């Protein structure tokens, strides 16, 4: 409950936010390492682990966005510096979210979660299979940005839930970004 008391926050400055954000990926990187050693466990609880990963990133991102609002609403910098800080912080949040989902897709085998509906030459298809993490990054990026190329179709309910959550996070982030910029500008003007 102490988290919601604004004066008792762990992250109170922009510098601490930039340094702390990459640690959001740490539990997932540990999970990726654990996945190699405990493949049978992952196969048995595959859907549950995927849902926990989605739940984790949604909660963490809301906490990060709330913290960003807190930090920037109290910033003493000029509008231009504060605006640049918001842009760079949101770029970092975006990259971390896309990488997070890409790692999840990669851990859970992107080719069992998604079906490629595009017609490719055998060489191109082989190249895509040989670079599954790049494929996972691509799927994550087009999903988060709501670009949605339509070539990669979720094959499982878990994959559909993952796509839904990533799209919602991407849409919300755009709206919150605009709201923070407007709020920061109004506070500096008045």
**pLDDT of res. 142:** 93
3-17, 21-35, 130-144: the lowest-pLDDT one: 3-17
Choose the most confident range, by mean pLDDT, from 76-85, 117-126, 137-146: 137-146
Residue 188 has pLDDT above 60, yes or no: no
Q: Does domain 65-190 sit in CATH 1.10.287?
A: yes
Distance CA 125, CA 119 (A): 9
Domain ranges across the chain: 65-190
Residue 161 has pLDDT above 90, yes or no: yes
Higher pLDDT, 67 or 57: 57
**pLDDT of res. 9:** 58
Q: What is the mean pLDDT of the chain?
A: 80
Residue 151 has pLDDT above 50, yes or no: yes
**Residue percentage of the chain with pLDDT more than 90:** 26
Q: Is 93 exposed, middle or buried (0-12, 13-18, 19+ CB in 10 A)?
A: buried
Higher pLDDT, 107 or 42: 107
Higher pLDDT, 124 or 154: 154
Global confidence as pTM: 0.72
Higher pLDDT, 86 or 170: 170
CB contact set of 152 (below 8 Å; sequence gap of 6+): 114, 115, 116, 117, 138, 139, 142
Higher pLDDT, 80 or 121: 121
Residue 183 has pLDDT above 90, yes or no: no
**pLDDT of res. 4:** 47
Tens-digit pLDDT profile for residues 43-64: 888 888 888 888 888 888 777 7
């Amino acid at each position: 409950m102490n988290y919601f008391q604004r004066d008792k926050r762990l992250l109170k400055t922009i510098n601490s936010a930039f340094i702390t954000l990459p640690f959001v990926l740490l539990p997932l990187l540990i999970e990726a390492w654990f996945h190699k050693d405990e493949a049978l466990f992952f196969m048995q609880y595959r859907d549950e682990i995927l849902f926990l990963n989605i739940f984790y990133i949604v909660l963490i991102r809301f906490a990060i966005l709330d913290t960003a609002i807190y930090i920037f609403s109290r910033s003493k910098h000029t509008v231009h510096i504060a605006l640049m800080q918001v842009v760079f912080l949101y770029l970092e949040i975006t990259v971390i979210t896309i990488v997070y989902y890409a790692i999840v897709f990669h851990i859970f085998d992107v080719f069992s979660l998604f079906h490629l509906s595009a017609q490719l030459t055998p060489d191109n298809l082989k190249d895509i299979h040989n670079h599954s993490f790049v494929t996972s990054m691509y799927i994550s990026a087009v999903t988060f940005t709501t670009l949605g190329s339509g070539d990669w179709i979720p094959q499982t309910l878990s994959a559909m839930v993952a796509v839904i959550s990533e799209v919602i996070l991407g849409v919300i982030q755009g709206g919150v970004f605009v709201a923070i910029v407007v709020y920061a500008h109004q506070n500096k003007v008045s």
